Amino acid sequence: MKHPRSYLFVPGQRPDRFAKAAASGADAVILDLEDAVGPDAKDDARGHVRDWFAQGGGGLVRINGSDTPWHEDDLAALADMPEATVMVPKAEPEALGRIATRLPGRPLVALVETVAGLAAVRETARLGAVVRIAFGNLDFGADARIPESGSVLDPARFEIVMASRLGDLAPPVDGVTTNLKDITAIDADVARVRGMGFGAKLCIHPAQVAAVNDGFSPTPAEIDWAQRILAALQAAAGSVVQVDGKMVDRPLIDRARQILLDAGAQAH
């Protein structure tokens, strides 16, 4: 299965941008009803998003939190959008469970962006409705009273990676890079979190999408390494082989297979 590498936010009150976002190259589009939409525009945004799905559009919908006055209206509107995956902000198990009950069978992406949400993330990962976990680094830093949102939050990222694995979920989604068009900064952020086990990233500008997609795709060198390992395994007809003078056993063989699966999925 191909999991999205890039998730591009688009404000729900800007229907003129929906099709552009869908054509940006992003693997997934998030139609935002929360932070990008002011209080006076919530109803209009909800209507625009409903129209988008009614016309055959797709994507995720980020709803307003359960502690806001717009939450119930968002859930009511989503009942008319059965194709929409729901992104839940400030995700914690109790709220996720209530949403799963209101929208049975609906896939949920849990956006972990509070200290309480991180403390309960392993429980979140085991909820049947949750299909992926994303990290809201900016809100988390504010809630944790940590002024930076980069590598200083990597211990929280590590816990999200562990929880995702324990829940047998896809590799998690990293938060945003605030430098909108600084590709060097985006490349560095992607390389760091990919090495930690993340598999995707939230984007806040179309200019970020290509770098994120490239950064989470297998490189030619990785594909070559994987192909040589599997070729050596087939030739040896065993479970342990040597490649480049190094022993390669089951964990690396599994990694090689996953690289080729990812490369094949992203090529189609």
Does the annotation list 62 as a binding residue?
yes
Q: What CA–CA distance (Å, rounded) separates 147 from 122?
A: 25
User: What is the model's pLDDT at position 181?
Assistant: 79
pLDDT tens per residue across span 247-261: 888 888 888 888 888
| CATH 3.20.20.60 domain extents, the chain | 6-215
User: What is the model's pLDDT at position 238?
Assistant: 66
- Would you place residue 198 in the very low, low, confident or very high pLDDT band (cuts 50, 70, 90)? very high
Cβ burial 64-82 (10 Å sphere, 16+ → b, else e): bbbebebbebbbebbeebe
The answer on pLDDT for 268 being more than 50 is: no
Does the annotation list 148 as a binding residue?
no
The answer on pLDDT for 103 being more than 50 is: yes
pLDDT tens per residue across span 107-142: 999 999 999 999 999 999 999 999 999 999 999 999
Domain 6-215: give its CATH superfamily: Phosphoenolpyruvate-binding domains (3.20.20.60)
- Would you place residue 266 in the very low, low, confident or very high pLDDT band (cuts 50, 70, 90)? low
Secondary-structure breakdown of the chain: helix, strand, coil percentages, each rounded to the nearest 5: 50, 15, 35
- Would you place residue 208 in the very low, low, confident or very high pLDDT band (cuts 50, 70, 90)? very high
Across the range 168-177, mean pLDDT stands at: 97
The answer on pLDDT for 265 being more than 70 is: no
Across the range 149-173, mean pLDDT stands at: 96
Does the annotation list 182 as a binding residue?
no
- Would you place residue 78 in the very low, low, confident or very high pLDDT band (cuts 50, 70, 90)? very high
Q: What values do phi and psi take at 32, rounded to 5?
A: -95, 125
The answer on pLDDT for 163 being more than 90 is: yes
The answer on pLDDT for 155 being more than 80 is: yes
Task: Collect all residues with Cβ–Cβ distance below 8 Å to 156 and sequence separation of at least 6.
Answer: 118, 135, 140, 144
Q: What is the mean pLDDT of the chain?
A: 93
β-pair type (241-243, 246-248)? antiparallel
Classify residue 81 by its DSSP letter: -
Across the range 140-161, mean pLDDT stands at: 95
Higher-confidence position of 2 and 105: 105
